[in-house]
């Protein structure tokens, strides 16, 4: 325990130090600094504008949406939400629930299977470790579409069409090499004395993993969970392929229906449900920004 807090304190101290030396660098004169802020704010405003405009439009009556650039509705109208919620085959909360089920199972699967594999690769000795690790990195680079058709055939033979199994089961089998790699990198950085100490205290490999290493990996696990959440929540291709029964649709498939069925007239409800669909991502982003930024800086994930 003491070692753990020590590690934490040190890493925090290093972070704070680099931040400080960083701000000491504030060398440039105040006018260029001001100008830089103006430009950065303007670019940021342009980037956020479409999102804010969509949010505003979701409260505008449909007749007002067209070519109205304002970010403030003249009247606040919530009918888009009630209309959008109920205008598809099923109420929208069903799609939200479906997405939630898929996302939750995917996260659990990724965390469990990838951390197990990562522990073996990062901190255990076994025969064939090097070639197997190379193989793992190889699957990391393999574009998914090459596997697509045979996988579809296999899932079809297994009778998994129109279930969540094709979307969820592979995640319990550590098929997401990105996250294994991320966790391997993280676990390698932990001091090896931890394993030795645990072994002397009588822990077998499983207890060492669950009681000593895994609790220290919370940042890597959090990064994995957040990235998994965002990519699975947005995932369109897999559900499009495997789900045909509309009562099983996830949110992206449901949203697409606004375009298919109602054509040009239903922009208001569509924006309202778009806002609903994006809100969880933005919420996760705000809550987990620290892990996201770190994760992306180390692995280059989206």
Site residues for another protein, 191-230, by CB under 8 A, read 199, 204-206, 209, 230
CA atoms within 13 A on the CB side of 84: 29
Site membership for another protein, residue 84 (CB under 8 A): no
Q: How far is the CB of 2 from another protein (least distance, A)?
A: 25
Which CB, 9 or 289, lies closer to another protein? Answer: 289
How many residues bind another protein, per CB under 8 A? 104
- Angle among Cα 114, 122, 210 to the nearest 5 degrees reads 60
Distance CA 142, CA 5 (A): 39
Contact positions with another protein (CB under 8 A) in 17-36: 18, 21-28, 33, 36
Contact positions with another protein (CB under 8 A) in 121-150: 121, 124-132, 135-136, 139, 141-150
Binding part of the chain for another protein, among 2-10, 186-194, 217-225, 292-300 by CB under 8 A, reads 292-300
The residue from 152, 163, 219, 262 that contacts another protein (CB under 8 A) is 152
How many CB atoms sit inside 10 A of residue 153's CB? 10
Q: How far is the CB of 5 from another protein (least distance, A)?
A: 26
- Cα distance from N-terminal residue to C-terminal residue, the chain: 34
Q: How far is the CB of 129 from another protein (least distance, A)?
A: 8
The residue from 64, 77, 108, 175 that contacts another protein (CB under 8 A) is 175
Distance CA 153, CA 8 (A): 48
Alpha helices (H) along the chain: 2-24, 30-57, 62-65, 79-86, 92-123, 129-141, 145-157, 165-172, 177-188, 193-200, 205-207, 214-216, 218-234, 237-242, 251-262, 267-299
Site membership for another protein, residue 256 (CB under 8 A): yes
Is the distance from CB of 155 to CB of 223 less than 8 angstroms?
no
Tokens of 235: 């995932």
CA-based nearest residue to 179, from 229, 129, 145: 229
Which CB, 31 or 302, lies closer to another protein? Answer: 302
Q: How far is the CB of 88 from another protein (least distance, A)?
A: 13
Which CB, 53 or 85, lies closer to another protein? Answer: 53
Binding part of the chain for another protein, among 2-10, 39-47, 92-100, 211-219 by CB under 8 A, reads 39-47
């Amino acid at each position: 325990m003491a070692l753990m807090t020590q590690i934490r304190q040190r890493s925090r101290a290093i972070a704070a130090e680099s931040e400080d030396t960083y701000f000491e660098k504030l060398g440039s004169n105040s006018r260029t600094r001001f100008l830089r802020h103006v430009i950065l704010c303007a670019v940021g405003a342009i980037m956020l504008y479409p999102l804010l405009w969509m949010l505003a439009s979701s409260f505008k009556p449909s007749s007002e949406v067209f070519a109205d650039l304002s970010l403030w509705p003249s009247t606040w109208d919530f009918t888009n939400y009630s209309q959008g919620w109920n205008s598809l085959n099923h109420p929208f909360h069903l799609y939200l629930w479906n997405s939630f089920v898929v996302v939750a199972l995917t996260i659990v699967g990724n965390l469990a299977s990838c951390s197990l594999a990562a522990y073996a690769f990062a901190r255990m000795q076994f025969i064939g470790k090097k070639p197997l690790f190379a193989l793992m990195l190889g699957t990391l680079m393999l574009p998914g579409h090459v596997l697509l058709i045979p996988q579809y055939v296999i899932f079809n033979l297994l009778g998994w069409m129109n279930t969540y199994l094709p979307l969820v089961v592979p995640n319990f089998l550590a098929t997401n090499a990105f996250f294994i790699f991320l966790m391997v990198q993280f676990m390698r950085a932990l001091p090896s004395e931890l394993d030795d100490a645990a072994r002397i205290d009588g822990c077998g490999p499983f207890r060492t993993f669950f009681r000593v290493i895994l609790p220290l990996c919370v940042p890597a696990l959090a990064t994995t969970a957040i990235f998994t959440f965002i990519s699975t929540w947005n995932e369109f291709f897999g559900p499009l392929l495997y789900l045909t029964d509309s009562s099983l649709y996830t949110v992206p498939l449901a949203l697409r229906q606004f375009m298919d069925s109602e054509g040009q007239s239903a922009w208001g409800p569509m924006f309202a449900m778009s806002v609903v669909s994006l809100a969880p991502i933005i919420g996760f982003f705000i809550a987990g920004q620290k892990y996201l930024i770190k994760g992306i800086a180390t692995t280059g994930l989206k």
